[in-house]
Structures are given as C-alpha cells and as structure tokens.
Structure 1
Amino acid sequence: MDLRQIRTFVYIAELRSYTRAAAFLHVSQPALSRQMRLLEEELRLKLFLRHGHGVELTNEGVAFFARCRDVLSEFEQLRHDFRSTGANKAVMGLVSVGLPAPATRFATPKLLHAARKSYPGLSVRFAEGFSALLHEWLLSGSLDLAVLFGSNTPKLLTSLPVLVEDLVAISAATKTSRKKNFVNAQDLQNTPLILPHRPHILRELIDSLHLKKVEILEVDSTSLMIELARVGDGTTILPAGSAEQSIRAGHVVALPIINPTLSWQVSICYSSVRPLSVGARVVLDLMRREIAQKVTSGEWLSGRLIRPGTEMTEGLDAAP
C-alpha cells in the first residue's frame, strides 16, 4: 500500500465513480481499477460495491476512508510545512477564489483593494459559476477557496459556515404580483419554475416541498433565470440580492416564501487534503470580514450570520 493508492481510493470514495476519479487524477480507468484491486487484495477487504450509477463504500470501506483522509491530510501538511521556508512564508502568490453569481454579493473591489494595500505580493483571482462547477474546481485543485451553498459538504472539503441566506420567489412585476406580500410554498406548483439543472441545492429544496406537479425550466445562468422571470416565463427561486438591480428597477418582484420558508447555508470551503497557503488564509479572513460587515451594516438584508455551533442541517425553516 502506498500514498498513490490512498489518494486514488479517497477520490473514488468521494466522487463515487471510477470514471470521474480517473478524470480528476489524470489516470486511465484501467490503471485506477488495477490500483484498487491490488489494494483490496492486500487488505483482504472489499472496499467498494459497484452499481449502475457508480460505486458505494462497504462498511469496511467507510472506516478505511476516514483513516485514509487523515493520513493524506497529514502528509500534505508535512510537505507544505517543510517546503515553505524563508521567503516562501511571506504572504505572496496567486489565490484563486470561486464565487456564485452574482459574485459581488461575496467580494467587492473593497476586498481587492484591502488585499493589495496590505499584501502587495498577493494576487487574487475570482471565478464565477454555479455550485456544482465550483465544487469540481475545488476538488481538482483549480481553486483554493469557494463559496458554496448547503450544509452537506463533501468529505474532501472543509466548510466554514458564514451565514444563512433567505430565498425569495422572483417573478415579473405585474399589477397582481405587486399586490402580494408573500408566496405560499405550495403555490409554487402553479407556475413554471426556472431552476438550474441537477445537482443543485435549489432542486433539492424544491423536491423537499413535495409539490404534486410542477413544470421546470432548466437554466444554468443566474442572469438568464432572472431575465426569464422578468418577461413572465415563470418564477425563479433565489436570494433577493441576486436580483437586486432588477428589483430596484421595478422589473421583477421578490416575495418571501412561507409555509415553509426557504433558506440555504452559505459557507467558504477549501480542500481537506491540501493545506491552505498563507495567502489563501489571508483571503479567507478578508472574505469572512467583508461578508460579516455587509450583514451587520444592513447591506445584506437577506443574510443572518452563523454563530459557531448553530450550523444548519436542512434548507427548510419553520414557517413564522
């Protein structure tokens, strides 16, 4: 058993797929399968159960995964600590951050200016995308940090919950919609819903409502989701901040959802098996401070800061 086998096993277990793990690790699938076969033979254990959609861990595999993740994390930390000597310990280099659209909710020019002023050798790159894509970029190492929604963070990622964000029903501004104060969750089935493709937490939240019949228009662009809602093609579910400009312009209305209310947890995430650089830790701290300032100042009206130990376990809140 070697470190390569451990790393391969951890990625297969997390991604639940030999094919996806092979793509992430840049290894051919036959070579990856051979590594796992040799590992199972050495351990005299069955680690995976194959099925039509991928693989699942056996009971022995679950216990082995927990140990392997710790070993891999310790190894990466050891390598990081002894490679980062002298000038390399300075706050410098490139930090890549993934943000959901619109990115300005989570990072503004103010953050970049603060980073440049205090750490001239630090460069920050932002990438905007949907959560599923940001998740994959984190796992592949293309990103150092990413803002993700929901509380079910993959085991290969470390999650720092920041706030809970309320979701609203966004639709065209008409005489009828302007007179409403809220939308009952069950009434969402009376209009086409404009939502991202699976997997996405918005789809999970709508599934949890157990609506009898609902038409879904699948769109993987926040701006297009809002535009389709504006022209009357349906209703989209997003935080009010995502459509702030359209709401202020009077193009759409954003109504609270009740019975139950809908919300999601917002977290800053990073890899559990790759130690954060000094620069990444600086950017992480700057992001947390900026988000907290927006909420406490009232600029982020739909956000509620999370105190340690009060993380969400579900995306549904009780009705007020």
Structure 2
Amino acid sequence: MNLKQISYFIKIAELRSFTLAANALYVSQPALSRQMSQLEDEIGTALFIRSDKGLKLTEAGVLLRRRAPAILSDVAQLRNDLQTAYSQAPAGVLSVGIGMSLRDILTVPVIAGFQKVYPNVALDILESVTGPLVEDIKSGNIDCALVFELDPSAQVIAEPFVKERLFLVGPPDASFRGRASMNANEIFDNALISTKADNPIRKKIETIAQGLCKEPKIAFETNAVSTMVSCVVLGGYYSVLPYSSICKAVQEGRVAAVPVEDLTLDWTFVYSKSFGLSLAAKVFRDFLFTQAEGTISSGLWPFTEALFTQGLVSQE
C-alpha cells in the first residue's frame, strides 16, 4: 500500500466512478484499475462492488474511505515535522501549479530568483487553468498552486494572494487608449475574445451582463492567454483580462488597455489539506509573496492589491 494508491482510492470513492476519477486525476483508466487491483491484493479483500447501477464500496472500502484522509494528513505532517526539525535547508523536487496569466509578471522572475536562493530545490512548474490545477492539488500530483478565485474546502486550503483589476484590452489604436478607466457596461460594445464558460473571468462578465440586461458579443472562446493577446494585436477583437496577462504587450505598445471600474479578480495560493506544505513549499510561498509585494510596490503591477500576510514560515 502506498500514498498514491490511497489518494487514487479517495478520488474513486468520492466520484463513485473509475472513469470520472481517471479523468480528474489525469491518468488512464487501465492504470487506475491496475493500482486499485494491487491495493486490493495487498489488503486481501475487495474494496468496490461493481454493478449495472454503478460503483459501491464494500465494508472494507467504507472503512478505508473513513480513515484514508487521516493517513495522508499524518504522513504529510510527519514529513513536514522531520524537514523542519532536521533539514539544514529545503531540498528536493517542488511541484508548483501557476495560472498562465502570471507568466511574465511573476512566474519567470520567481523561478529565476528562487533557484538562486534555494539551489537544492528543483522546481517543477505546471502552467494551467484553475480547474485542473485544483484537481492536481487534491490528488497530490502537485504541492501548491496559484489559481483564480477559490474558496477553502474540505480538501483544499486557500490563502488570499492578490486582488487585481481587470482591463478591457484592444488593438493599439483603440478609441479608449489613454483613458484612466472605463465603466463596466462599455465592454459589451465590443466583439470579445473570451475565456471559456467555466473560467472565473467569463463568469464575472456574464454576471455583469445579466445585471445590465446586456448580451456579451463573444467572437470565440479560448483559455490560451497568448492566443487571446495575439488576436487582439491583429485588430478587430477585444478581451477582458487581468494586467498580469498583458503586461508585456502593454509595455511594448502592442495593445491598448484600460482598467474597468469595480471589476476585479482575486488570486489564491492553494494546497492540499491532507498533504500540507513541505519546508520547500513554505519557503517558496514566502519567496513568492515577497516577490509579488515588490512588484506591486514598484508600480510594475498596477491596480493590484496584496491580500497576503508576510512571515508565514516563521508563524508555523
């Protein structure tokens, strides 16, 4: 029995489906079934009852489901205690998920700076969108992540990171170029390249549209920030994005951007409640927060407010 098998079992028990669990865990269904067969062989009894009506847990499965989260939590706490007590410096592989929008303004500077200060920590960076990153946190595939707005849950601890204003982004010669701000209802006068329906930015746009009895003009959808910016640069399209995702294009004069009044987006730092944070993850979190604070105070990340508390490692 190993921690990966236990983590996989929890996800199957939660979703009551090997297919759904495999999709959520980003593993193949045969590989997932093989892991569970090995687990059942080691335990010496079946954990699942398969029928036409779906998947159920046996008595042994119910018992394991009840105790498995505590097992993962205890192992994570033991690891953290040992690292804190006996490690001279953080070391090992640290898997971090980061929203794609943060690449230029935060991800690249953080990677470069962190590796200089902590050369014994090998960063494994995964850039993705909120949904998949949160599932990776729950399954233990990554150690921590920065994602769009997310509330704490039974499985995930979510710490406030920053709040940033959303901008209407258009071609360099857009009529709003040079304006200090824009009312939210003005964004609906343009053909928008939008994030997909499950993205927090899209949800905010649709909520505002409903309140104003307006219908967003969605030209096409994509969660690929680089594609959105490239299409805006070519002209004819507009988009609503955080400054973090367009900072380079704005600085190079490839797009025009204006902050939208009362339209903000919160970023959160998340990690698994069961696995906790390793020493490497804790120092990475503090380094990340320090870098963000410096970027904001220097004016390089305008219309952004820090929501975090410094000195977190020393408080734990």
The one-letter amino acid of 1:233's match is G
Structure 2 residue corresponding to 1:256, chosen from 256, 259, 262: 259
TM-score (norm 2): 0.73
Change in Cα spacing, 1:110 to 1:204, as seen in structure 2 (3 Å) is: closer
Change in Cα spacing, 1:73 to 1:296, as seen in structure 2 (3 Å) is: farther
* Aligned counterpart, 1:297: 298
Aligned-partner Cα distance in 2 for 1:254–1:112 = 28
TM-score (norm 1): 0.72
SS in 2 for 1:270: strand
TM-fit CA distance, 1:13: 7.7
* Aligned counterpart, 1:27: 32
* Aligned counterpart, 1:103: 103
Alpha-carbon contact 2:96-2:125 (below 8 Å) kept: yes
* Aligned counterpart, 1:313: none
Aligned-partner Cα distance in 2 for 1:104–1:202 = 19
Change in Cα spacing, 1:88 to 1:100, as seen in structure 2 (3 Å) is: same
5+ residue gaps in structure 2? 38-46, 310-316
TM-fit CA distance, 1:169: 0.6
Name the count of aligned residue pairs. Answer: 282
Aligned-partner Cα distance in 2 for 1:185–1:113 = 37
Deviations 1:202-236 (A, max 9, x none): 12111211153223210121111111122223221
Deviations 1:261-291 (A, max 9, x none): 2111111111221132221212111111111
Q: How does 1:206-225 map to 2 (within 5 A)?
A: 206-209=205-208, 210=210, 212-216=214-218, 217-225=220-228
Aligned-partner Cα distance in 1 for 2:137–2:58 = 26
5+ residue gaps in structure 1? 44-64, 309-320
Alpha-carbon contact 1:160-1:269 (below 8 Å) kept: yes
The one-letter amino acid of 2:56's match is R
Alpha-carbon contact 1:22-1:28 (below 8 Å) kept: no
TM-fit CA distance, 1:249: 3.0
Change in Cα spacing, 1:172 to 1:86, as seen in structure 2 (3 Å) is: closer
Change in Cα spacing, 1:41 to 1:142, as seen in structure 2 (3 Å) is: closer
* Aligned counterpart, 2:116: 116
The Cα RMSD (Å) is 3.7
SS in 1 for 2:275: coil
Confirm whether residue 38 of structure 1 aligns to residue 57 of structure 2.
Answer: yes
TM-fit CA distance, 1:111: 5.2
* Aligned counterpart, 1:75: 74
Aligned-partner Cα distance in 2 for 1:277–1:301 = 32
Change in Cα spacing, 1:142 to 1:10, as seen in structure 2 (3 Å) is: closer
Identity of aligned residues (%): 25
Alpha-carbon contact 1:116-1:122 (below 8 Å) kept: no
Change in Cα spacing, 1:14 to 1:263, as seen in structure 2 (3 Å) is: farther
TM-fit CA distance, 1:147: 0.7
Alpha-carbon contact 1:80-1:275 (below 8 Å) kept: no
Change in Cα spacing, 1:208 to 1:12, as seen in structure 2 (3 Å) is: farther
